[in-house]
Amino acid sequence: MSEQTLDVVVVSRSEPAEDIVVLDLAAAAGASLPRFEPGAHVDVHLGPDLIRQYSLCGDPADRSRYQLGILLAAGSRGGSAAIHRDVHAGDHLRIGVPRNLFPLQAAASKTILIGGGIGVTPLLAMARHCAAHAKDFTLHYCARSRAKAAFLDVLEAAPLAAHSCLHLDDGPEAQRFLPERDLPAPAAGTHLYVCGPAGFMEWVIGEAHRLGHPEAQIHREYFEADVDTSGDAFEVKLAKSGKSVMVPAGVPIVKALAEIGVKVEVSCEQGICGTCMCTALEGVPDHRDNYLTDEEKAANDQILVCCSRSKTPTLVLDL
């Protein structure tokens, strides 16, 4: 996570759908905000040891404001609940500079954006960018109901209306998202982008694979993930400090380290943001994150200590 932060003011707050808050942020000093690429997110600092990531869903060409859409998570660990309860127009916030872990492929000849629920947020910025640059794209927005679907005013107006499809779970069968109908045929320049609840993403990605879309042309960003810390206990040794600790089954590495006075900065705590990534010097990590690529996992020289474990009795970290 970047150490550089920005002071911003909430210039507006709206609640366009059930359990969704949309915040517009401007630089507190009145200057232009840093540029961001479509797919980027910012870290929002909500309190001591409470940092959460939210995608930028506004127009990447507009440097006067950043826009965030935040769903009140059913099992909120403090982030979304704090925003829904405490953040209002006129409030000041501290955010990180934009980071992009979900970039568009500039060379794509066709871009297909598939969002489930609040997962539509990074895709909105992508759609706005594609529209502004006359790219061939389609945005599929899947929601449980119209009452739970935010940003409909944006999707139903120019320039996105001609490129957007709304799919509602409680609507007629014919308008629901059907991969065999709604995904184009696989082609060298066709790229798919998927974001939303984990189960939804796994289904869409599985269907895309079944229909012949190559893995290299399927891009994804997870907003949440189940953390599995089961398995045998193992020892973690720290090369720089000389300390060591046993990590019991069911206990994240980061928590075991904290108990011996070693603090590693965390944010999502679900293996999706990369904040807690450490260098592994010896041993074989048991990767359980959704952040590292398959190639990075195969190298076994990095590990996300909020969720991953060890396949070997001892793991040596560069701490």
Q: What is the pLDDT of residues 118-131, one digit of tens each?
A: 999 999 999 999 99
Q: How confident is the model at residue 2 (pLDDT cuts 50, 70, 90)?
A: very low
Could you tell me the pTM of the whole model? 0.85
pLDDT of residue 212 exceeding 90? yes
* CATH of span 110-222: 3.40.50.80
Residue 53 backbone phi and psi in degrees, to 5: -105, 135
pLDDT of residue 3 exceeding 80? no
Position 76 scores a pLDDT of 64
Position 1 scores a pLDDT of 42
CB 186 within 8 A of CB 180: no
Residue 50 backbone phi and psi in degrees, to 5: -130, 95
Question: What is the 3 state secondary structure string of the chain?
Answer: CCCCEEEEEEEEEEEEECCEEEEEEEECCCCCCCCCCCCCEEEEEEECCEEEEEEECCCCCCCCCEEEEEECCCCCCCHHHHHHHHCCCCCEEEEECCECCCCCCCCCCEEEEEEEHHHHHHHHHHHHHHHHCCCCEEEEEEECCHHHCCCHHHHCCCCCHHHEEEEECCCCHHHCCCHHHHCCCCCCCEEEEEEECHHHHHHHHHHHHHCCCCHHHEEEEECCCCCCCCCCCEEEEECCCCCEEEECCCCCHHHHHHCCCCCCCCCCCCCCCCCCEEEEEECCEECCCCCCCHHHHHHCCEEECCCCEECCCEEEECC
Boundaries of every domain in the chain? 5-96, 110-222, 234-317
5-96 belongs to which CATH class? mainly beta
CB 279 within 8 A of CB 302: yes
Considering the chain, what is the average pLDDT of its residues?
Answer: 94
* CATH of span 234-317: 3.10.20.30
pLDDT digit string (tens) for 115-164? 999 999 999 999 999 999 999 999 999 999 999 999 999 999 999 999 99
pLDDT digit string (tens) for 226-282? 678 889 999 999 999 999 999 999 999 999 999 999 999 888 788 888 889 999 999
